[in-house]
Copies of this chain bind each other. A is one copy, B any other.
Amino acid sequence: MPMTAAHTARLLITCADRPGIVQAVSSFLYHHGANIISLDQYATEEQGGTYFMRVEFALDRLQEVRDVLTRSFGDTVAAQYQMSWQLTLVGDIKKVGILVSKYDHALLELLWRWSRGLLPCEITQVVSNHEDLRDAVERFGVPYHVVKVTKENKVEAEAEIHELMAGNDVLVLARYMQILSSEFVEKWSYRVINIHHSFLPAFVGADPYRQAYEKGVKLIGATAHYVTADLDQGPIIEQAVERVSHRYTVEDLRELGEDVERNVLTRAVRWHLEDRVIVHDNKTIVFD
């Protein structure tokens, strides 16, 4: 962490749009001695829509004044504009738990970037329903837990995962092939990030790469999204595609698809960790 991270914080705001919000927030920060590093805003309509803001600011002795600052902002600006908001310190490193099955491509990309200091988080543990990736994970010094999931033990298994993962700020499904129950998802609302393949058109059912091959698609892609009870329909954080041709075998499609998946998931996780994503009405505002 650079020196500066210790006294840098981020404010994420959602509220009804009306005049004076920038003025109110920036005055609050100015009068508390903060220096605005970056400020992004977006409104859904020119007038009368919903307003979103992300402010990154620096403030000396931030750790000491954080409680006062937080309470004060809540009592004044946030109250006045009826904001949904959160204040996070860059110095409070987020804890990330990863769920995985047998595919290692997305997992290893995350671990590798994290080990190089390119993902600002602590990866606390990896939970899988299989033993396969234990070595690959433990090599990075990250604990690996196996929780077998069957039809019969699903409730208990999820309870165990929930307990293991307690204390994490966000969960990443790096090709976790189990469907999480809506009860589980609700407990981790907008704090579970998933990656799945995407095609034009979309294919329902088993073996989508074979379907893509049979349909002769010219692009294959991946979508990272927050998990909601509505499977694979949660708010999209990031997407990308690559060109393919009729010469790609099913196996070639899968290999390229995995490359897209690891890149897309990495970007989505990073943006989440940097507090760049706000969810509103089941879609995302990404201040990248």
Contact = CB atoms under 8 A, between A and B. Distances in A.
Interface of A: 4, 18-23, 26-27, 29-30, 33-43, 46-47, 58, 104, 108, 112, 116, 118, 139, 198-202, 214-219, 221, 223, 233, 235-241, 245-247, 255, 259, 263, 281-286, 288
Q: Considering the complex of A and B, which 3 residue pairs feature the smallest CB-CB distances, nearest first?
A: A216-B283, A23-B26, A23-B30
A104 B112 CA distance: 11
Nearest to A259: B263
A246 B285 contact: yes
Contacts of A108: 112
A240 B263 CA distance: 15
B219 A240 contact: yes
B39 A22 contact: yes
A32 to B, nearest CB: 11
A222 B160 CA distance: 45
Contacts of A219: 221, 239-241
Contacts of A58: 46-47
A214 B255 contact: no
Contacts of A281: 214
B139 A245 contact: no
B286 A245 contact: yes
Most interface-central of A23, A29, A116, A281 (chain B CB within 10 A) = A23
A233 B116 CA distance: 31
Nearest to A29: B23
Contacts of A282: 215-216
Residue in A18, A218, A284, A285 with the greatest tally of chain B CB atoms within 10 Å: A218
Contacts of A33: 19
Nearest to A283: B216
A18 B247 CA distance: 18
A105 to B, nearest CB: 8
A217 B246 contact: no
Nearest to A232: B201
Given A58-B46, A201-B198, A241 B241 contact: yes
Nearest to A247: B42
A215 B238 CA distance: 12
B27 A23 contact: yes
A59 to B, nearest CB: 10
